[in-house]
Structure 1
């Protein structure tokens, strides 16, 4: 039986009301080093997905985020595990983003979405939300 990894991801946008850009990061470590993703991480015991996102953004980007609506839960089968990823809209509530774990970070507008090498689960999310991404 394949192990399921439950994670959260932040689709950080410039505004909840009228999104023109989203923030993506290139992994700085591990099996998928250099590939792009929405920042996030594992949900720890006793945490809600929203609490996990707030903690992860503090750890990875040194920012406080305001967590908005759930966009989707992406279910994706990687070769060695099944990923269940709760994806939420977020905005930065304070300070400037500082990369603590990622190799690179970039704000992408609608025309730049496919200029980076996304991880498969993240590209699945982009395809699902493309129509509502920039509203």
Structure 2
């Protein structure tokens, strides 16, 4: 089974977390933490910063590794490094997603998360969050 290595941003603003709705592909309509594939030689954090700049036109900073999720989808294995961070420059614009939504940390289940991202949500809701 093919493995996809991706980095995702858990963008925090006070008590809110940014959710992004996929606008393409077989998982279109599902909600996720924005991010994308690591390029050769990139660290997870470097990929996270680059992908967020490309997808949302903002710069994120204060990155801290939160969790790495290993998840088996039917056609591939996903290895997703997730980083908490905040927007330090720019204004959000949509490029790869159909919608963005700020979700209150105590109401993260308000959107229908993709399965791998749901594992991150469960950790965010946990006692160590």
Q: TM-score, normalised by structure 1?
A: 0.90
Q: How well do the aligned residues superpose, as a CA RMSD in angstroms?
A: 1.1
Q: Which runs of 5+ in 2 are unaligned?
A: none
* Secondary structure, counterpart of 2:96 in structure 1: coil
The runs of 4+ residues in structure 1 deviating greater than 4 Å are: none
| Deviation string, structure 1 residues 85-121 (Cα, Å, up to 9, x no partner) | 0000010011221111100000000343111111000
Q: TM-score, normalised by structure 2?
A: 0.94
Residue 89 of structure 1 corresponds to 84
Alignment CA distance shift 1:26-1:112 (3 Å): same
Instruction: Report the Cα distance in structure 1 between the residues aligned to 2:108 and 2:93, rounded to whole angstroms.
Output: 21
Q: Which runs of 5+ in 1 are unaligned?
A: none
Number of corresponding residues: 128
Residue 44 of structure 1 corresponds to 39
The structure where strand makes up a greater share of residues is: 2
Residue 114 of structure 1 corresponds to 109
Query: 1:130 aligned to 2:125?
Result: yes
Displacement of 1:67 after TM fit? Answer: 4.2
